[in-house]
């Protein structure tokens, strides 16, 4: 679980990031980010209801994606000072495992300049 200081939970914060922030897309995940005035990165996750109809499934995959992002909270492995939102809008046809999401998410973080290496 992400520490509270590294979470984005307010609806208003998501709207600001998605409207004013930069965007990257890989066909499954749309990644929004913008600089913040903090010395840490904050992350928020959204999953479209058409991907998973049941809240239980959406919450399960949010936990999986949070676990993938957790190692990049360390300032040694990432550039700090960003608010980031990930919108999962399409489920890949490959096996629905944690490893199926790991590389696409790491690639997006690297392309955005959030992490120093993959």
> 92: which 2 tokens?
């890949």
Q: What is the pLDDT of residues 32-77, one digit of tens each?
A: 999 999 888 999 999 888 888 889 988 888 888 888 888 888 888 8
pLDDT of residue 117: 62
Q: What is the pLDDT of residues 1-28, one digit of tens each?
A: 788 889 998 999 999 999 999 999 988 8
> 111: which 2 tokens?
């392309």
Q: Going from the N-terminus, what domains does the chain have, and what CATH number goes with each?
A: 4-112 (3.30.230.10)
Question: What 3-state DSSP class applies to 52?
Answer: coil
Q: How far is CA 98 from CA 3, 68, 76, in A?
A: 21, 8, 24
pLDDT of residue 31: 95
pLDDT of residue 101: 79
- CB-based contact 117:110 (threshold 8 Å): yes
């Amino acid at each position: 679980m992400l520490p509270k200081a590294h979470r984005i939970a307010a609806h208003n914060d998501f709207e600001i990031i998605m409207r004013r922030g930069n965007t990257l897309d890989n066909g499954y995940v749309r990644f929004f980010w913008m600089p913040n005035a903090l010395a840490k990165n904050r992350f928020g996750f959204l999953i479209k209801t058409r991907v998973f109809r049941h809240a239980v499934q959406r919450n399960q995959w949010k936990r999986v994606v949070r676990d993938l992002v957790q190692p990049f909270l360390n300032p040694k492995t990432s550039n700090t000072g960003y608010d980031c939102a990930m919108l999962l809008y399409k489920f890949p046809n490959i096996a629905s495992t944690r490893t199926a999401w790991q590389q696409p998410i790491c690639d997006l973080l690297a392309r955005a300049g959030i992490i120093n290496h993959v």
